[in-house]
Structure 1
């Protein structure tokens, strides 16, 4: 029976009415959602919550909201029956107690729900009960109980059943003692395929018996333990008068900026209704997907690629941040309240860090004619979170600057994924320690930017530098031009960056102009790094099509949330942006969404072992005619430093 046939019920848990449609879900609302679904007959002893999040109202409803208006709260829930593998996606109203939609997922066609922590935990006893797995380890001289299993999303390949079964592939890493870093000791040449619902190993591929790397990997372990430095003096970040920002619930205000902070189990930190000097810029911004494709071609590794957002719901693993370690200065923390796999609220303390920090010189001039000698210092507001996905740790930092700039910086650190490095070497890996390899790979993120540059009527122009040949209008050959191309349809707007021409994309308002009569706008500056390098015929190319272009532009549709589609796990491909843009809708002067691919192409170095220094990727949004002149002219001069004779025009 469909859940839609169940009469509306009133949840027994008291949930305070939210003040705004985009307020983050509370613990009481999560309890109310579980009780509503239980009353509708959706929950059994084997039902697990793969995802529970706020079903945000359509944009028009939110923009029309005024304080005091009634707020209907809806949730979107992914439910998995671990006994059968059946998944369903349910939307329910906490306000009316009704199930509004109930979709049973066809796993063979639509893909699978994200992998549960409970399923990851079940893998170890499953493989330890399989004689093929334990024999392969014993033949390598290893006690199977000392090998840590690492279950990974299986992807969509011919060697994985496409009949709707939930499959993971499993690597082993030897941990000789509880303090050892298991990633230093990969058991290479061996992989198991596990049916999570049946609870059994389908296949063990024992392709090649390679020596298990022996050198310890802990950074503080002999024989290469790093001595603690004694030549670094403390740095103190102080704001004696307190921070310049204010926080009212989820709303942050700072230096002319206003933004609503959100958090989602899938996307992590989300920004809503970002405005500067009272003018809208972004309706919603998030990291909506990421893929990590690997380049190693061994039969046991050539399938490796992970969609950490869609397959694993990476924000479930958000860190609790610590003052002095993750954030410095005057800090405001936001907790994150998520649903666990039983549908009960789980609070991650200090999940989001908010602070401001000095960022060097903002503007400066010493004039030879009028004696002007002025300097102003830049500062930025930082909104960030960190999450750990297996071996890697990712930080996402949104920066707001005094000059109207917005920046997103992704920080990748942690431990590189490892393999054995045979004496003959590997073509697509780096030897990072004796006998230990780290395969080449990419980290490709998709930022979903629901733009609203001074209003809803937006368009995109591709702007780049162009050489001008010598001629009557350029007799000395010194001229160069600015070339602007309007992107008018979704298929035309599938673009790649070009560092040789300095290509950027301007988001313009087609109805408003600045004092010079030109459209107000903001420019998206990419970093000009490679997009997905896998062959166009590959499975990961089909599944991660979003990562084949730096830019996609779509007409706003509230149902179009994720660039690789809603169900990524074991999906064969073609979902998400390729499907969204197939109709080639008009995007000129419309309510539009930008999807920007950025990231790292990582050829590991010995310096990345045993713990990788932070590597950076991101993008920048800069005002381009949005303001009539420098918006940071009013920043006050700084006080002279102790013992100084004056500074910054004071």
Structure 2
């Protein structure tokens, strides 16, 4: 039997026990809901010093909301000791609102449709069947609008379907937005700005008129089974070892990633993401969504399907989360893990010895998919044979639509009269580094041109410019493709055989950062997205890029407040926060469903190994290396 580990994911029984403990302590009443309940991970020191059989204090953190009064609490409780360690009343103006509950999304339809003014606006637009109107509940943000401070709000744009199975995204009811108070359960403000035409053409993608018949099946088989082993939440594969985690907010998390028993990353996750929109119109200026902090990525996870979401010899991990009532909810097959062939690993045909050698790359894929309203996102962590770590995010689903105003500088026309506002998808990866130990240092490395001189008479020289990041005040950095900027994370304690510190290099995404004006509300609330990289000293309480409670928070929390301490970084326990993403000017080809668009980053070993660590990878077997014309092997 597997020994308990401090990072073991919460079980259904533990979630049930957590709810019972909170109720026993008088913190749960008939109107109490659980926007968030999850494992409170022990400190890094406690985890690293843990030995099998050591006692474990299992603690949970719960955000509680009274849906009748709007009062909320932040509670830390020990299941082991049956004790409340912290109970803090939250101020919605100062602290922000708890994340949005699924039941609140569902309630918006009834609240909006009960509003006489909204119904009159719908009828004036020629819509007679209210049941076919789909109010879309969206996070409210924070804009200093009079009367909104302290209210728990959602804003609702609406769409209409031609019939129950018609996808409503093709028919936006533009120019109209309802502001909904979730506690009072009423529309507190209606903006009826313009009667814009409702696009008529349908955008249904799930019932095509015909299917191509030329694609032949691809079968991926591993007759001898996969190369990885799974022991509870721990996975080993080709020298790699790590632990699987799953959080209601972040979704998939990876812990204690090591290769050949040498640590690389202590904890890796997507700590936040934001989707800001560009349309400044009176009904859309507020559109920006924090899919992790407001909607909770983990709670939106899909159950994955073999042959559709994942292909090959698959190992699935189920996820267990707390629902809005604090009871356990299982998401079957929430995480998919499998191996993939990834082309040539290394190859050389030598002109002197006439040797011909080719080896194939392989990667381990750990992934999950979420659906957040109209968009779907896949998060794919890759581990490679050569020690490379990579994260790729995949954006697909349906773009958010509008009525198209001819000549609009803020939207693309997708179909006759149908627009798609410009927007961004910006992710923040939190990488708690541990390259050969907790003492690390970070250098910014640029390509540097060398001017013509006596030492460089022909002007061909170039070199590297290396800048050590000494303190958090210097740790907010920008990517720069013009100099090939990367960041090197080095061990302060270990050197390779050449006497150089062992290290990994972060190759960042070279893409636009947050495009909003510096004075915009979203620039305060998503300050993490204004820089490509932030470097902080490890603090167990600093988990989220935009702060603990993002929903309707005024901004300034998260990374700006973390780096204000200006702690020393050189040779310390450092955390890297990398912003990457997509700036989306939608195309007609993105309609009615968007082909996957990808972004991400790569971490590669640099002097971590003494030489190519894949020289021992065997050549491919003949049965997997066949010419379809001759059926003969070419791998000798």
Shorter-chain TM-score: which interval?
over 0.9
Q: Write the distance in 2 (CA, Å) between the matches of 1:569 and 1:514.
A: 46
CA contact (8 A) 2:443 2:489 kept: yes
In structure 1, stretches of 5+ residues that fail to align are 1-15
- Once the two structures are superposed, the pairs formed by residues 414-425 of structure 1 within 5 Å of their partners are 414-422=397-405, 424-425=406-407
- Name segments (4+ residues, structure 1) moved above 6 Å: none
Q: Write the distance in 2 (CA, Å) between the matches of 1:160 and 1:20.
A: 50
Number of corresponding residues: 630
- Once the two structures are superposed, the pairs formed by residues 244-393 of structure 1 within 5 Å of their partners are 244-393=227-376
In structure 2, stretches of 5+ residues that fail to align are none
| Residue 176 of structure 1 pairs with residue 162 of structure 2 | yes
CA contact (8 A) 1:114 1:567 kept: yes
| Residue 620 of structure 1 pairs with residue 602 of structure 2 | yes
The TM-score, its normalising length taken from structure 1, stands at: 0.96
| Residue 146 of structure 1 pairs with residue 125 of structure 2 | no
**2:387 paired residue number:** 404
| Residue 130 of structure 1 pairs with residue 115 of structure 2 | yes
Q: Write the distance in 1 (CA, Å) between the matches of 2:3 and 2:162.
A: 52
Q: Aligned to 1:117, which of 81, 94, 102?
A: 102
CA contact (8 A) 1:336 1:348 kept: yes
Q: Aligned to 1:500, which of 482, 506, 521?
A: 482
Shift of 1:161: 3.3
- Once the two structures are superposed, the pairs formed by residues 478-489 of structure 1 within 5 Å of their partners are 478-489=460-471
CA contact (8 A) 2:250 2:296 kept: yes
Q: Aligned to 2:75, which of 86, 90, 97?
A: 90
Shift of 1:457: 0.7
Shift of 1:591: 0.4
**1:8 paired residue number:** none
Q: Write the distance in 1 (CA, Å) between the matches of 2:108 and 2:350.
A: 69
| SS state at 1:205 partner | strand
* Distance change >3 Å, CA 647–CA 517, structure 1 → 2: farther
| SS state at 1:491 partner | helix
Q: Write the distance in 1 (CA, Å) between the matches of 2:407 and 2:114.
A: 34
**1:49 paired residue number:** 34
| Residue 213 of structure 1 pairs with residue 213 of structure 2 | no
* Distance change >3 Å, CA 358–CA 410, structure 1 → 2: same
| SS state at 1:164 partner | coil
Per-residue displacement from partner, 1:10-37 (whole Å, max 9, x unpaired)?
xxxxxx9970000000000000000001
Shift of 1:84: 0.5
**1:167 paired residue number:** 153
| Residue 427 of structure 1 pairs with residue 409 of structure 2 | yes
| SS state at 1:353 partner | strand
CA contact (8 A) 1:459 1:487 kept: yes
| SS state at 2:483 partner | coil
Q: Write the distance in 2 (CA, Å) between the matches of 1:197 and 1:411.
A: 35
| SS state at 2:474 partner | coil
Q: What RMSD, in angstroms, separates the aligned Cα atoms of the two structures?
A: 1.2
**2:506 paired residue number:** 524
Q: Aligned to 2:616, which of 611, 616, 634?
A: 634
Q: Aligned to 1:610, which of 567, 592, 595?
A: 592
CA contact (8 A) 1:529 1:599 kept: yes
Shift of 1:317: 1.3
CA contact (8 A) 1:375 1:647 kept: no
* Distance change >3 Å, CA 621–CA 602, structure 1 → 2: same
CA contact (8 A) 1:17 1:71 kept: no
| Residue 579 of structure 1 pairs with residue 564 of structure 2 | no
Shift of 1:158: 2.7
Q: Aligned to 2:442, which of 451, 460, 463?
A: 460
Q: Write the distance in 2 (CA, Å) between the matches of 1:193 and 1:18.
A: 51
The TM-score, its normalising length taken from structure 2, stands at: 0.98
CA contact (8 A) 1:219 1:226 kept: no
**2:222 paired residue number:** 239
CA contact (8 A) 1:170 1:194 kept: yes
Shift of 1:427: 1.0
Q: Write the distance in 2 (CA, Å) between the matches of 1:79 and 1:172.
A: 30
| SS state at 2:473 partner | coil
Shift of 1:644: 5.7
Per-residue displacement from partner, 1:491-536 (whole Å, max 9, x unpaired)?
2110010011110000001121111111100000012111101000
Q: Write the distance in 2 (CA, Å) between the matches of 1:226 and 1:297.
A: 38
**2:61 paired residue number:** 76
Per-residue displacement from partner, 1:358-409 (whole Å, max 9, x unpaired)?
0000000000111221000001000000000000000000000001000000
**2:496 paired residue number:** 514
